[in-house]
Amino acid sequence: MTPTLVRRHRPSAVSPGSRARDWAEIQERMLVPLYEAVYQRLEVGPDTRLLGLGCGSGLALLMASARGAHVCGVDTDAGRLALAGERLLPQDGHASPGHRVRLGQGGPASVAGPGDPAFTLVTAFDPLYCAGDDARHLAAALSEAAGHAAYGAPVVLAGWGPQERCAASGALRVAARLADPMCAPSRWRPSGRDDLEDLARRAGLRPDGSGRVACPYGYADMGSALRGMLSTGAFDAAIEATDEEQVTKELTEALHPHLRHDGTVWLPNVFRYLIARV
């Protein structure tokens, strides 16, 4: 009998809760320039009722709330959402009727009640959602969110800029190469020029302007860089297809050219955002 080759997967040594904490403490802040640019351009303030899709651990919502906006956020990651609650909700974890923050796990319906006023801004800032199979799910979520938004309300999508201007592309190619496309397709691929516009049209939205923002990834040391990059979720499929030790080894090699003499790791990146209309 011919022996059958069986690939054995070693479980991740890091818990999902630790990944969520690494995202909140290390990685999420890398997108602050993007959040600031969008909020400034759209004049987010007390009259804004914002819905954040894929709100993560809530930093973008916190920044909008600081401008006076009423913010609602949804995410499928329970760990990140719990951290968002710690940042944004009262100590008991529940918003009062007059509170200007609402969080929900799942889709827009989890935070949009039948009698609520329409959202005036919808954001989907996580660039990973603009590639691969997740784009189909996001198009459906965007279409659902548009049903709860005012006519003409802006919907903001974010994605990677040109590869030659995104130093993180080399590290993310490790994720794509190691993932098994048959059972665990990668959540990252190079961005196409019209990806965001195609996604908006698929969701029934009208593209209406765009911009680019420099969002460098800067880390105190290689360990922080590894934790931050792994927390994005981009490498989950690669870890599932191989193991965390292999992914960490190859990711370290990919990041090494960006290690500076003082031990910090610096990856200049440019992100692109699209403003579409309901």
Over residues 197-213, the pLDDT tens digits come to 999 999 999 999 999 99
Q: Give pLDDT, residue 5.
A: 35
Q: Cα(64)–Cα(123) distance, rounded to whole angstroms?
A: 11
Give the residue from 168, 154, 265 showing the smallest Cα distance to 215: 168
Do the bridges between strand 70-75 and strand 101-105 make them parallel or antiparallel, or are there none, so unpaired?
parallel
DSSP H helical ranges for the chain:
16-22, 32-41, 59-66, 78-88, 134-146, 169-178, 195-202, 222-230, 236-241, 244-255
Q: Which residues contact 163 (CB under 8 A, 6 or more apart)?
A: 169, 190, 191
pLDDT, residue 197, reads 94
pLDDT at 16: 73
Domains of the chain: 16-87+99-107+115-167+188-218+268-277 (3.40.50.150)
pLDDT at 193: 78
Quick: pLDDT tens for 25-80. 999 999 999 999 999 999 999 999 999 999 999 999 999 999 999 999 999 899 99
Query: Do 128 and 187 touch, CB atoms closer than 8 A?
Result: yes
Residue ranges in the chain modelled with pLDDT below 70: 1-14, 91-99, 128-135, 182-190
Tokens for 75?
Answer: 């995410």
- The pLDDT value recorded for residue 131 is 42
